[in-house]
C-alpha cells in the first residue's frame, strides 16, 4: 500500500502506525541463544542433589 504523503516524517509515522501492537520479531541469533540456554539448563539439572 502506498503512503499517503511524500513527507519523510509523515511516511515514518504512517509506517509506525501500521505496526501490530505486541508483535516483536525474534532476532536471527535468538535460536542459537535458546540452544545455549537449554544446554546450560541441562548441565545444571545433573548437578543438583537428589
Gap between the Cα atoms of 2 and 15, Å rounded: 10
Q: 23 in a domain, yes or no?
A: yes
Q: 16 in a domain, yes or no?
A: yes
**Residue 11 neighbours by CB under 8 Å, 6+ apart:** 3, 5
Gap between the Cα atoms of 14 and 5, Å rounded: 9
Determine the pLDDT at residue 3.
Answer: 65
Percent of the chain with pLDDT over 70: 76
| Residue written as grid cell 509523515 | 10
Q: 3 in a domain, yes or no?
A: no
Total count of domains within the chain: 1
Q: 13 in a domain, yes or no?
A: yes
- Full residue range of the structural domain in which residue 33 is found: 8-47
* Tens of pLDDT, residues 4-27: 788 889 888 888 888 877 777 777
Q: 24 in a domain, yes or no?
A: yes
| Residue-by-residue DSSP string for 2-33 | --S-S-HHHHHHHHHHTSPTT--PPPTTHHHH
Q: 29 in a domain, yes or no?
A: yes
Amino acid at each position: 500500500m502506498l503512503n499517503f504523503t511524500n513527507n519523510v516524517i509523515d511516511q515514518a509515522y504512517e509506517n509506525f502506525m501500521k505496526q501490530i501492537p505486541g508483535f516483536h520479531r525474534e532476532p536471527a541469533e535468538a535460536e542459537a541463544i535458546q540452544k545455549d540456554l537449554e544446554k546450560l539448563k541441562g548441565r545444571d539439572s545433573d548437578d543438583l542433589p537428589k
